[in-house]
Structure 1
Amino acid sequence: MRKTTKTVLIIAGLTAGFIAACRKADTSVADNNPDSEWLSGGSQTAFDEGSGAFSHVFNSLPEHLARIHEIGDGQFGATFVSAPAPVNPGLGPIFNNVSCQSCHVSDGRGKVPGKGESAANMLFRLSLPGEGEHGNPVPVPGFGDQLQNRGLLNKQKEGDVLITYTDNTFEFADGSTYNLRTPSYTIIDPYITLPGNVLLSPRVAAPVFGLGLLEGISDADIMANADPDDKDNDGISGKANSVWDVIQNKKVLGRFGWKANQPSLLQQVAAAYNGDIGITNFIFPKESSDGQTQFDSNVGSGNYELTDSLLHSVQFYVRTLAVPARRSVTNPTVVEGKGIFISAGCIKCHKADARTAVNVSLPQLSNQLIHPYTDLLLHDMGPGLADNRPDFLASGSEWRTPPLWGIGLTNKVNGHTNFLHDGRARNLLEAIMWHGGEALSAKNKVASLSKTQRDALVAFLGSL
């Protein structure tokens, strides 16, 4: 097991005492309750600012559920190997990584490869123009819908991707400068010839904490923020993705992934096992790549390489990971930065507050006031960030608003500050200045700020 399951450092009495001792006068976005801003995950908030901040189990799970979380924790970190093997067989034969943890290091954010490094924490989606049977991207014959850049001994990987960057310098209104690096991606050494019209989209691994709380937000509450035709004329036209649910065999609301192309944590986890590691399961029983020579050792229940119980345990593990608490909420600079975040319009997409629906089967998820700073909707981010690869209803320039909770602890937990879907931004300010499309007005307001105001905005983001 990669770590022992930790109890979230929050219980009702201690939390109230902690907050009362730490806070000063403050105005919360949520319910005019200044205490709530500390509690990013509601009652499922962990007070930990260290390297393990993203890896805490939900508070007050009964013993039998805590055990399931613990089993899922071990499976999340388990390294798969080629079959036959007594433990964790079934890797590949072509794959991107050998475990969930290898991409989602410490349950956090992947980084882009440095010079001479492999793309271990990112993958590359592939498709052809058009729509598949369910409105999905069209797989590439011989490659499927993502590029597997690793292979077992004597098995040929599908290819590699060469990443290069071009630096460009821009100016803020006060005359100071900033640099943005524009990535370029080239598929090299494909095992067979790729079609000339293949669409390629990079992805870094996203954090996995708090996902159960996001899944707990009702479809109706997400749709209440959708305004695809911008009827209120505020320039923000968030829309929901409609994606194929393999289990329900129908289209449903998408809410996970960089383009909200997955409907549930169970399907997200099952797809990652299948596509990233080459592990079959009851949701995706076939090897992921279309046309490659595959080897299926038929290990596990129902001849799947991952048993149903282990798949469900990993789903439960990520479902019950707590959210790190806000920090420095009452710091004057952070308070100023929060005001700038709101006045610039960032809050229109990065919604501070949400409430989970009633959940009688798992009360720890039920009716929680949380502060994820996302609306879980798709927004057009302009040509600068476009991958030009549609994904169900998401266009080539639309991305789901990523949650911002915990973002200020990225460097502490993951040792880097790579942000956005492909990690091109090297810090939070660069991430802001890449915004375009619906966020262009907000970006321009940030560009007009003084350095002191920009620093306050970054300090606020760092407190999340």
Structure 2
Amino acid sequence: MLRFLKAARYSGPMVFIVASLAIGFLVAPPQKTEIGTAELSSPHLNVTPRTDAERARIADITAMPATFTKPEAFETNPAGAATVRARKTADAFSQPSGNISFERELDFKVGNGLFKKLWVSSPSSTLASDGLGPLFNARSCQRCHLKDGRGHPPEGSEDDAVSMFLRVSVPAAPEEDISEIEAFLLSAGEEPLRVRPDPNYGGQLQDFATAGHKAEYRLEVTYEEFDVPLSDDQTALLRRPTYSAEDLGYGPLAEGAMLSPRVAPPMIGLGLLEAIPAEDILALADPEDRDGDGISGRAQMVWSFEHDRPMLGRFGWKAGAPTIREQSASAFAGDIGISSPIFPDPWGDCAAGQSACREAPHGDGDVRKTEIDSEGLDLVTFYSRNLAVPARRDVDDPQVLRGKAVFHETGCASCHRPKFVTDRLDDQPEQSFQLIWPMTDLLLHDMGEGLADNRPEGRASGREWRTAPLWGIGMTEQVNGHTQFLHDGRARSLLEAVLWHGGEAQASRDAVVEMPKADRDALIRYLESL
């Protein structure tokens, strides 16, 4: 009976979406592809190819709106049939896809259990849960992604940086062997930005350690505040952060070490982002800005250790991971020190010089072979793939509609691309052929010197970041009890986040500064409705 009720509840939106895709006559968007999709094909195995007729219908329904006097069709359902109602509690980001079946919801709940699971150090009588560290940032996925939402920087000396850490890398020496992705970029005619993990600390700094080991560091953040004048005699107060790695436990960082702060991003809608066709993302890339609009997004290219080939990067602040499964395995290794079939080293991110860490007891000596096995990783991936996006609120509010118009008029939608239609996926019904509104193009953009971390990652320079999805951003305070945004949480409000935009977004940022206060308020009100 429950399965029937769920099917009945969501059959309406699914039918209407398909019906909408069946009409319209707009041609496909201009092709600005810089990389062939053969090299960066879908991460999914069971994709039904689109016909030319379908491409034309999809171009119609994903076209930018012509007017802003009323909401667009299906705008209240940003995740298509996978959308869930917007709860008024802190659990708003922790719901399964709205169109998930009764049987598959059980896998979601088991995956949720593994996501919350507290890992313990080895040796332990709890064989299914040992293998923590020895160096780590958190004991569970949930500790960083609290309530499946957004992390924050530490506030004061008593607040651990449990949902934030520092990535670290050093320039590669000229004589070092090139990596797989560097070889691919060279073959494509690019000069890769070559970096390597710090020889003493690895690829990220861990601020916790198991008994008998020293933590790698303590994160310290200081801020310098400054005023930004706005129109209508308004002023915004921004804070510029400085990060330092204090109390280093394993000697100094290597010469030229580059640090990049990262807060845990929200988990909602990841499966739908993964289901966006690579060709649709690549069609938006315009690295030479040939159309002259000032926006020159680039596709991130990464090496997939699971698929052993170059793939389009989609996940992480610089799009450094190609799939949810690989991103999950990378987080297990780097954040918790847990090995997996993709990253089987039992010591996680311990550098070659950290011999005590590498030689410590680990949790891979039993039948699992790795500390989380393939089945466990699949369940965490399924859970992460199916964390639902809540429905939009107040889409017909006049101030929200005015804010939406301002969002488009100022060019925000050039990078925060509103709509896509996902692939037809035979084995992922929740994500298959959905009209979604993630508000991102998943491309890398130069965000200016103010947001630069000066640390390359893959194809991304020290000034480039992936366009962050905006769906659910207005519920951050409800879910996580704060309003701190951007990759390092420096912005204490949505307006501050906008004012930090530079580089390709400088013109849009300046327009927000100069527009009447009523329009600026409407823009923020629109973002809060997402």
Pairwise TM-score range, normalised by the shorter structure: over 0.9
Shift, 1:365, TM fit: 1.1
Match of 2:387 among 278, 299, 321: 321
Shift, 1:49, TM fit: 3.2
Superposed counterparts of 1:126-137, under 5 Å: 126-130=168-172, 133-134=179-180, 135=182, 137=195
Superposed counterparts of 1:270-349, under 5 Å: 270-286=329-345, 287=347, 288-290=349-351, 291-292=353-354, 293-294=356-357, 295=360, 296-299=362-365, 301-349=367-415
Counterparts in 2 of 1:38 and 1:44: CA distance versus 1, 3 Å:
same
Aligned to 1:95: 136
Match of 2:150 among 91, 106, 109: 109
* Whole-angstrom distance in 2 between the partners of 1:419 and 1:10: 38
Q: 1:282 is matched by which residue type in structure 2? A: P
* Whole-angstrom distance in 1 between the partners of 2:426 and 2:366: 32
Aligned to 2:225: 167
Aligned to 1:11: 9
Aligned to 1:79: 118
Q: 1:77 is matched by which residue type in structure 2? A: K
Counterparts in 2 of 1:8 and 1:228: CA distance versus 1, 3 Å:
farther
Deviations 1:242-279 (A, max 9, x none): 10100121211101000001011010000000100000
Aligned to 1:413: 479
Counterparts in 2 of 1:256 and 1:302: CA distance versus 1, 3 Å:
same
Runs of at least 5 residues in structure 2 that lack an aligned partner in the other structure = 15-60, 183-193
* Whole-angstrom distance in 2 between the partners of 1:113 and 1:14: 45
Runs of at least 5 residues in structure 1 that lack an aligned partner in the other structure = 1-6, 17-26
Q: Is the 8 A contact 1:90 1:299 kept in 2?
A: no
Q: Is the 8 A contact 1:68 1:317 kept in 2?
A: yes
Aligned to 1:253: 312
Q: 1:45 is matched by which residue type in structure 2? A: T
Counterparts in 2 of 1:137 and 1:196: CA distance versus 1, 3 Å:
closer
Counterparts in 2 of 1:188 and 1:231: CA distance versus 1, 3 Å:
same
Aligned to 1:229: 288
Counterparts in 2 of 1:197 and 1:60: CA distance versus 1, 3 Å:
same
Q: 1:403 is matched by which residue type in structure 2? A: P
Superposed counterparts of 1:6-85, under 5 Å: 11-12=9-10, 34-50=72-88, 51-83=90-122, 84-85=124-125
TM-score by length of 1: 0.93
TM-score by length of 2: 0.81
Aligned to 2:41: none
- Aligned-partner SS, 1:36: coil
Q: 1:144 is matched by which residue type in structure 2? A: G
- 1:189 to 2:247 alignment: yes
Q: Is the 8 A contact 2:231 2:517 kept in 1?
A: no
Aligned to 1:359: 425
Counterparts in 2 of 1:271 and 1:148: CA distance versus 1, 3 Å:
same
Shift, 1:342, TM fit: 0.4
Q: Is the 8 A contact 2:314 2:320 kept in 1?
A: yes
Deviations 1:308-336 (A, max 9, x none): 11111000101111111110000000000
* Whole-angstrom distance in 2 between the partners of 1:105 and 1:14: 33
Deviations 1:168-195 (A, max 9, x none): 1110133311111000011111121212
Shift, 1:12, TM fit: 2.8
Task: Report the number of matched residues.
Answer: 448
* Whole-angstrom distance in 2 between the partners of 1:44 and 1:62: 11
Superposed counterparts of 1:364-443, under 5 Å: 364-443=430-509
Q: 1:253 is matched by which residue type in structure 2? A: L
Shift, 1:61, TM fit: 2.6
| RMSD (Å) for aligned C-alpha atoms | 2.0
Of residues 254-263 and 174-183 in structure 1, the stretch that sits farther from structure 2 once superposed is 174-183
Structure whose alpha-carbon radius of gyration is higher: 2
Deviations 1:389-440 (A, max 9, x none): 0001000000000000000000000000000000000000000000000000
Superposed counterparts of 1:195-210, under 5 Å: 195-210=254-269
